[in-house]
Amino acid sequence: MGVMEEKSSRVIEVLLSAVRPIQLLTGKVLGIGLVALAQASLVVAFALILSKAVGSSLLHGSAPLVVVSTLIWLVLGYAFYSWVYAAAGSMAERQDQVQSLILPLSLPMIFGYVMALTGASSGSPSALLKVLAYLPPTAPFAVPVLVGFRAVTWWEFLGSALISVVCTIGIARVAATVYRRAILRTGARVRLRDVFT
């Protein structure tokens, strides 16, 4: 939405006269990510303070390794998906166009979430969940569940994280290309084939 709003208000033309498109896109991704992280931190801090005040055992029994793993995959998942959504936002002209792009981009997240939830409630990880741990769109959901079951070794965790980082770098390069070629096009939604031709 942030990318699309800049494009539709024509602020982007002024910004691009001062910085390169990749710098602007990187700043946008990092800025929105830091704001989201700050908001999430405030919510978690408030929940922990409130649970302590009322004597709740909210995190009782939660292994620190599971919490750290979840935080790592939260950052890796955001890094992966933020580039995808930023590129999509640069292709849209209006908010209704962004809405039509959201469902196809959200399907891997929905699938990963449902599979992780199913795996967590089953009591033991399935072979499918172990495969999903190596696919960057679904790994942020699958790996923390496997860590919770103690069904992943340190080298599998590291391997999955490295695959995710490498794919995120690749997605960032593609997103930067899409952004650079689509951000100044106005009038109608930009098609992906138009960006790469």
Q: Model confidence over 32-82: pLDDT tens digits?
A: 889 888 887 788 778 778 777 877 665 555 566 777 888 889 899 999 999
| Distance in angstroms (rounded) separating the CA atoms of residues 135 and 112 | 10
Question: What Å distances lie between residue 132 and 19, 21, 59, 156, CA to CA?
Answer: 38, 33, 27, 12
CA angle 107, 115, 36 (to 5 degrees): 60
Q: Quote the pTM value.
A: 0.79
Q: What is the pLDDT of residue 196?
A: 62
* CB-based burial label for 167 (10 Å; 0-12, 13-18, 19+): middle
Task: Kindly calculate the radius of gyration of the chain based on its CA atoms and give it in whole angstroms.
Answer: 19
Structure-token pair, residue 14? 């002024």
- Under DSSP, is residue 117 helix (H, G, I), strand (E, B) or coil? helix
Structure-token pair, residue 136? 């960057």
Q: What is the pLDDT of residue 70?
A: 84
Structure-token pair, residue 31? 């800025």
pLDDT at 105 over 70: yes
Q: What is the mean pLDDT of the chain?
A: 83
Structure-token pair, residue 94? 């209006």
| Distance in angstroms (rounded) separating the CA atoms of residues 148 and 125 | 10
pLDDT band of residue 118 (cuts 50, 70, 90) is very high
Q: Would you say 134 and 73 are in contact if contact means Cβ atoms under 8 Å apart?
A: no
Q: Model confidence over 130-181: pLDDT tens digits?
A: 999 999 999 999 999 999 888 999 999 999 999 999 999 999 988 888 887 7
Tell me which residue range forms the domain holding 36. 2-195
| Distance in angstroms (rounded) separating the CA atoms of residues 139 and 71 | 13
Instruction: Look at the block and give the residue holding tokens 């929940």.
Output: 47
| Distance in angstroms (rounded) separating the CA atoms of residues 110 and 21 | 30
Instruction: Please tell me which residue, 83 or 5, carries the higher pLDDT value.
Output: 83
Q: What is the pLDDT of residue 137?
A: 95
- Helix runs in the chain, H state only: 2-8, 11-16, 21-54, 64-91, 95-122, 127-132, 139-148, 154-182, 192-195
Q: How many domains does the chain have?
A: 1
Q: Model confidence over 78-99: pLDDT tens digits?
A: 999 999 888 887 777 767 777 7
pLDDT band of residue 28 (cuts 50, 70, 90) is confident
Residue range 102-108: mean pLDDT, rounded = 89
